[in-house]
Structure 1
Amino acid sequence: MRLRWFGHACFMITSSSSGVKILTDPFDETVGYAVPSVKADIVTVSHDHFDHNNVKCVEGDPVVVKTPGKHEVKGIRIHGVATYHDAEAGRKRGRNVVFVADVDGLQVCHLGDLGHTLDPVKVGEIGHVDVLMVPVGGNFTIDAEAATKVVDALKPAVVIPMHYKTPALAFPIDPVDKFLADKDNIVRTNSVSLELSAQDIPEERTVYVLSYE
């Protein structure tokens, strides 16, 4: 499986076995990063805000997945879990959907704009997670402290922080360093992409910091 980060909460997840491409939470031109111009088979949208739902930037005729529940597209099983974009049961920013995709034998979880920590019920609904993409910038999502609690609850082997302040991003959120401050096993890849397989998943939890273009 190959993961490529375009910035913010947008990743391309490509299956090594089938070649199926999943794009997560595409953003529009106001965010600050270069808008991805890519083909995808599946697009997941965690919530309908402009920095996560720019489906029109995707070439081809992708299947858009944006609801909780079980989905299967081109052999990829995805399940969505209903959560909130804030810590007030959605009263401030509405709903959010966490998606977990089974890709090449790995359970890949994208938290979208999760705005709260997870109780045992939600942890159970999400299930086993190998690879976790977690927002860490705060303000509009969970912050570094809450993100750490979510990571500890879900127990992934691979953690990929997202939705944090960079020189390209216009939003008033925290940089990734706050999240990394108390973490061990940090790998700064100096690359926009990461190759992973079920055979070489790290035994100890590892945080991978990706670059963007």
Structure 2
Amino acid sequence: MRILAAFLACLTAAPVLAQDADWRPSHCISLVENVPGMRVIPASLADPLAEYTVQIGYIAHSMFVIRDTEEHTIVTDYAGYLGDAGFFPEVATMNKGHTSHWTAQPDPRIPHVLPGWTADGSPADHYLQLGNLLVRSVSTDIRGYGGAEANGNSIFVFETEGLCIGHMGHLHHEPTDAQYAALGRLDVVMVPVDGGMTLDLPTMIGVVKRLRSSVVLPMHWFSGRSLEIFLAGVADEFAVDRREESFMQVSLNTLPPRPTVVVLQPRLIRYDD
């Protein structure tokens, strides 16, 4: 707890990334229609990307690495260890559900470390523009040791290559109507499916069906049991695509005509990625 307190104190001195304007551009909120078709391709982290394509890799737990054609790289729920010490992302987002979702000692080479909470309990309000990449956050509550903790988690949204990609973090309750509206359209969404430490599976299944994202990436599963329950619960509305690979590529023009759960296999980043 002392480490967390010290880290929070450092955050209060960090520059605020959110803009002061009442309205901030987001094509994920203003656009609501999906484009059919999808192609999922295993690929190396270092391979060139086709135009308007995003690469997503499942690292471990709730950590994904996202890369776009401008070579912006993001790691979600960054816990400090990615595998190869030679790789560091441009952006690292974190949530404080457990130490497996954040670190008090992020790699100093990471230019932008975005915690999903604040020291004073106010909503985290990130709005970071890097070239064609926009990273923004939508705060939700979290369960704490003394009960519910307001604004303890953030759902991060990454807008790039025309895609809207959401990461639910350590979600503990269904988003409110206002939070759903703030998220906007999510073409790809990463959702925790452990069924206990985060949101219970029936409610999470309801969230996924309401979002109706074109691609759903399950995460935060500790055994095949909770994953299988989740897959069975969405099978009436979603196709299921089980992959042997940890990486996929997707573009706006190749999203599936039917919403699809893509099961990626977690793998730490290796030197040859």
Q: Normalising to structure 2: TM-score of the pair?
A: 0.67
Contact 2:138/2:155 (8 A) holds in 1: yes
Mark the runs of 5 or more structure 2 residues left unpaired by the alignment.
1-53, 117-123, 268-273
What's the RMSD between the two structures over aligned residues? 2.6
Structure 1: 4+ residue segments shifted above 6 A: none
More strand as a share of residues? 1
- Residue 125 of structure 1: how far off its partner (Å): 1.2
2: CA distance, partners of 1:175 / 1:28:
26
Paired residues in the alignment total 202
Task: State how far apart, in whole Å, the 1-side matches of 2:92 and 2:264 are.
Answer: 21
Superposition map of 1:103-122 within 5 A: 103-122=160-179
Helix, strand or coil at the partner of 1:180: helix
CA contact (8 A) 2:194 2:220 kept: yes
Match runs of 1:71-82 below 5 Å: 71-75=127-131, 76-82=133-139
Partner of 1:44: 93
SS at match of 1:176: helix
CA distance, structure 2, for counterparts of residue 57 and residue 6 of structure 1: 17
Change (3 A) 1:138 1:85: farther
Pairing 1:1-213 to 2, within 5 Å after superposition: 1-15=54-68, 17-27=69-79, 35=83, 37=85, 38-47=87-96, 49-54=98-103, 56=105, 58=107, 60-67=109-116, 68-75=124-131, 76-86=133-143, 91=148, 95-166=152-223, 175-182=226-233, 183=235, 184-213=238-267
Q: Is there any run of 5+ residues in structure 1 with no aligned partner, and where?
A: 168-173
Quote how far apart the aligned CAs of 1:28 are. 5.6
Q: How much identity, in percent, do the aligned residues show?
A: 26
Does 1 or 2 have the higher relative contact order (CA < 8 Å, sep 6+)? 2
Paired with 1:113 and 1:82, the residues of 2 have a C-alpha distance of 11
Quick check: 1:70–1:79 contact (8 Å CA) kept in 2?
A: yes
Greater C-alpha radius of gyration: 2
Residues 141 and 152 of structure 2 are in contact (CA less than 8 Å); yes or no, is this contact kept in structure 1? yes
Assess if the C-alpha contact under 8 Å between 1:137 and 1:163 holds in 2.
yes
